[in-house]
């Protein structure tokens, strides 16, 4: 764990100026206060890895619902993703492009900050761009 004494003198002084109510002593405290820019609204185990560039964001979706008896994942149907478009740098995006292995890219609408992926196999990529 990093302690304030581990910082250089100038950084220690800046840290001391931060009001106590805006400071977190542990990473766990900080994480409980954060709202992710992309939240899957699903009980299924899904990992989302957003990557951001100016005017564009890409979401890597990984399905962790592995079935060892089939040596494959169980597909997730109608996966809803809650998006904070401004945080992703694409505040005006109205649609997304879904790319999955073995299928043609599909354009999906974004409505009220929500996107629905019709089916997620092992993985997919969602591309968001400014109009």
Instruction: Please identify, in words, the CATH class of the domain defined by 38-129.
Output: mainly beta
Predicted local confidence at residue 82, as pLDDT: 96
Q: What is the mean pLDDT of the chain?
A: 90
Predicted local confidence at residue 7, as pLDDT: 85
d(CA 112, CA 109): 10
**Full-model pTM:** 0.76
Write out pLDDT tens, residues 19-60: 766 667 777 877 787 888 999 988 879 999 999 999 999 999
Write out pLDDT tens, residues 6-16: 889 898 888 78
For 4-7, the CB contacts below 8 A with 24+ separation are none
What is Dmax (Cα atoms) for the chain? 57
Q: Which of helix, strand or coil describes residue 102? A: coil
Query: Is the dihedral angle over the CA atoms 40, 44, 78, 66 positive or is it negative?
Result: positive
Where along the chain do its domains lie? 4-33, 38-129
d(CA 35, CA 53): 20
CB atoms within 10 A of CB 39: 14
């Amino acid at each position: 764990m990093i302690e304030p004494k581990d910082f250089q003198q100038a950084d220690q002084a800046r840290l001391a100026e931060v009001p106590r109510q805006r400071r977190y002593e542990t990473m766990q405290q900080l994480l409980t206060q954060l709202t992710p820019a992309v939240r899957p609204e699903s009980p299924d185990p899904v990992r989302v890895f957003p990557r951001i560039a100016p005017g564009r964001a890409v979401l890597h979706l990984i399905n962790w619902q592995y079935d060892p008896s089939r040596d494959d994942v169980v597909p997730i149907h109608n996966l809803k993703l809650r998006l904070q478009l401004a945080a992703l740098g694409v505040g005006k995006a109205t649609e997304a492009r879904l790319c999955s292995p073995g299928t043609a890219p599909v354009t999906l609408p974004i409505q009220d900050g929500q996107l629905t992926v019709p089916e997620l196999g092992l993985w997919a990529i969602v591309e968001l761009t400014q109009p």
